[in-house]
Structure 1
């Protein structure tokens, strides 16, 4: 010991300092090694935790999605005990049909080449009641057979106090316009029609009550048309049908039990599996649903189809807006695609629906109570139609906010939250060798009225949908939090691993290159 002490005394101060540094480095190295071990353990714990959380979150999400998918598919199927079935049988949702009538104020000026002056009157609101009676269900539960009774009742309380369905409107003599279109194809019918017009003192225009114009009437002129078999003997002339006897014919739809994607889609409508009024087999197909609910789990790329009984055809809608909110419920907004309103010249496929007309119109003459009449549908006020249609009349002012049609659907359940099915009825007038029509200056599409079909969900159904969506959001949020926590731990362990690797390299470098003077 004494000798070592003497040796230390004989060493220079620099040498002593180096020895002291070496001792300190050994202590630091031991501490670094211990820290590395602790860090490795911590990183391993993070890795294990992140793995468990991520897998658990993924499994929870998968199980939750599968369970929710099963629940929603069941609840949105047409089988006894489901809410949608009860609403389908006898909906307590309020369905309205508003009518806006165009009062033609200057019909006698048409022969002078003066454009028709129209004044919009309305809305006249009718409450629509739909009640179904199930007559049978297929053995496998895939299809349900039913009859439906549809009734429209004038809603005095929801219509302006200064309006009544007994209001008198001046409008085109629609039976005459229809008869002219049919009779011009035959010299015999042309002569006979000219004689009937004079005998019955009929004119180009007619004064009718709102109720007569919408739901039908009969006069001496129509009685004479029935004698010529131009008009069905057992019917009155009407634009729309109320309390239709044909509703007693059976319809068949998919229940969604066997295929949720086919929920509510028609297989047979009013006793018909397909129609025979259009240009080919495809156009005559009865596709789609009633329009008040669709298949669940829709996305913005999906297109939906509904069958419109007023137009006697299926109509496909495309998503126009992926985020429209109604009282906290997010919906997809669907509307008419561009090709639907194109005429056969621009879109040859539309020739099967006889769209040989200006852009923005679609033929509905085959759906009328009087077949083969020159009736065409459009958006109200000729919105999105050929500008010439608008310039040929006076008093129309298209506005997308109040004249466009749309269907807002909650995508998870497929329930229609809001809808405004707006369609304008127009009649084509052209010069022919028949009384009054030989004075028409040029081809004219005259607006008669437009309807706006809307729906207000019942409080029960709205609350049920909101509650179900909130539950789904909560469960998925928990799953997401677990997955995010796992991913955060994985990120933390990755960063820690990088730091640890740098630290280990530094320590190893010091160990392999000890300090020396």
Structure 2
């Protein structure tokens, strides 16, 4: 009796535990996705209390700037009208440090900030030294010549004389350090003396001189605290909501984010838009495929074929014109009218005639395409590689002797790639909190539901088996009583003497 009572209590306890597990599993299935969503929304917004705020303020991902130069092999022949020949030199790798300052939260759910950048040369990652010499087009001379193409002949002759006096030539031999961070040029001093507002720079001239130890402009972006639908989107840049470099409102629009974080919960239909101060325009990347970075699921976004397409191939880009061949963008309007062009490296994804016009170019998607790998749940970049090329349009300008007989050509100057990948403790923390824990919760809810169902079966099975045993016991008890009564009656009849006249018969089996 005691063992049956104990078994009944154990079965009841297991059934109660199963009920709890099943209810908890159902609650988790219903509530966990909502809880995860709320936690993501809370922690990706720009707020000092969010987990991602310090990551946004001081980007923990190590960024590297890799620079490749196109060393001109035959400058004398180019001046005689021959096809340019270049050889790629590099990479010259720099560690890029970024930090935000002047962070100001505004009343309209936005935050304003300046992001400063500095660069440090990495000899161990580079193929060459900053002291290496590179032969390149003289951007100042050839740009000035192009600006004076339609000017009076007398002024061109004066310019030719001035160039000769200052020792300026169409091609120059400079070190990597000088090209990157600036060099003294007598032409700059002369122009700044007589035309003080012609050049935006007053000291040294270098392709990256304005980027080192400087900011990329005052960004004002939405924090997502009050209105999550606009999180990370740029409200204004340098106080304006659109630029005036281009010839259409669409091209002048400042769209997307500042290029560091995007809205969470992305789908393959999502796109990445961001404003690039270096390109003076907004850019849009499109979804390509799913990837996995260090165990973290990501979406890979790449540049569409239309990013640098000209207006005849892609009409919305008409505002970036005057255009030349498709695949290069004229950025002269935001680069002191110098005939500079932006494109993918080696004219990848551009009109083939551009690469064919210069010997030594070999475009291919593996080395020259750009991509961003984004964690779709949070909108945080995991791995990125943005690659762009800067080229100069050069040609012979009648009246300016330094240009010789140069045939019109878009001559690549250099290309660079900015790359960064989350690593170390930051990556481990991100994986644990945003990948591992949601995955554990996802499986735990179904395990609890299954376990609950199994435990609920135990008291049910016990009850069924108990009823069967009880039925068998009572059946056997009733049958035994009747047999006992029959045997007892038979025994008593045998013991009673028969009445007179009764004939006893022989018992037969």
- Please state which band the TM-score falls in when normalised by the shorter chain: 0.7 to 0.9
Maintained 8 Å contact 2:272/2:286 = yes
Cα distance in 1 between the residues matched to 2:213 and 2:125: 27
Give the corresponding residue for 1:202.
168
1:181 alignment partner in structure 2 = 146
- Where 2:306 maps in the other structure, the secondary structure is helix
Q: CA RMSD in A?
A: 2.8
Alignment of 1:264-413 (within 5 A): 264-321=232-289, 323-354=290-321, 356-368=323-335, 371-413=336-378
Q: Deviations over 1:215-260 (max 9, x none)?
A: 2223112223333454346254332244568639643111122333
Please name the residue that 1:17 is paired with: none
Following superposition, the deviation at residue 106 of structure 1 comes to: 0.6
What secondary structure sits across from 1:283 in the alignment?
Answer: helix
Structure 2: give runs of 5+ residues left out of the alignment: 1-17, 454-509
Query: Residue 402 of structure 1: CA displacement?
Result: 1.4
Rate the CA distance shift 1:102–1:245 in 2: closer, same or farther, 3 A. Answer: closer
The 3-state SS of whatever aligns with 1:436 is helix
Secondary structure at the aligned position of 2:429 is classed as helix
Change (3 A) 1:430 1:57: farther
Relative to structure 1, the CA distance from residue 189 to residue 301 in structure 2 (aligned partners, 3 Å threshold; closer, same or farther) is: farther
Compute the TM-score of the two structures, normalised by the length of structure 2: 0.78
Following TM superposition, by how much is the alpha carbon of 1:313 offset from its aligned partner in structure 2, in angstroms? 1.1
Match of 2:425 in 1: 460
Aligned CA distance change for structure 1 residues 61 and 220 (closer, same or farther; 3 Å): same
Secondary structure, aligned partner of 2:83: coil
Name the structure 1 match of 2:58: 90
1 CA distance for matches of 2:425 and 2:201?
46
Give the CA deviation at 1:56: 8.0
Corresponding pairs, count: 431
* TM-superposed deviation, 1:129: 1.3
Distance in 1, Cα, partners of 2:198 & 2:76: 27
- 2: distance between equivalents of 1:156 and 1:261? 44
Contact 2:375 2:382 survives alignment (8 Å): yes
Aligned to 2:507: none
CA deviation map 1:269-321 (0-9, x unaligned): 24444322121333222222232321111111111111212111110110111
Q: 1:102-121 deviations in whole A, cap 9, x for unaligned? A: 11011111134432121111
The separation in 2 between residues aligned to 1:399 and 1:439, in whole angstroms, is 31
Query: Residue 275 of structure 1 contacts residue 286 of structure 1 at CA under 8 Å; is this kept in 2?
Result: yes
Structure 1, unaligned runs of 5 or more: 1-48, 488-517
Partner of 1:68, secondary structure, is helix
Q: Which residue of 1 aligns with 2:227?
A: 259
**CA separation of 1:486 and 1:406: change in aligned 2, threshold 3 A:** farther
Change (3 A) 1:439 1:109: same
Rg larger for: 2
Residue 387 of structure 2 corresponds to: 422
Quick one: structure 1 residues 271 and 346, their matched pair in 2 at CA, closer, same or farther if it must change by over 3 Å?
same
